């Protein structure tokens, strides 16, 4: 498991973690991703300024 895999498909990675621990999600409980992308135009502008140095 890598950060990149987690970023692309967090539910798949969560299921892999549960499987590797021999655990199952409780019935009736749904795995939900509650994180949202935080990058925006401000971040992109900062990256461009940083790279231009």
User: Alpha-carbon dihedral of residues 19, 23, 33, 40, nearest 10 degrees?
Assistant: -50
- What is the residue extent of each domain of the chain? 3-51
Residue 29 is predicted with a pLDDT of 79
pLDDT interval class at 41 (50, 70, 90) = confident
Residue 39 is predicted with a pLDDT of 76
Residue 53 is predicted with a pLDDT of 82
- Per-residue model confidence as pLDDT tens digits over 9-35: 999 999 899 999 999 888 887 878 887
Residue 2 has pLDDT above 80, yes or no: yes
How far apart are alpha carbons 10 and 4 in whole angstroms? 10
Size of the chain in residues: 53
Helix, strand, coil shares of the chain, percent, nearest 5, are 55, 0, 45
């Amino acid at each position: 498991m890598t950060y990149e895999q987690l970023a692309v498909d967090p539910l798949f990675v969560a299921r892999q973690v549960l499987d590797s621990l021999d655990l199952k999600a409780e019935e009736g409980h749904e795995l939900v991703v509650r994180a949202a992308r935080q990058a925006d135009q401000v971040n992109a502008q900062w990256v461009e300024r940083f790279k231009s140095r």
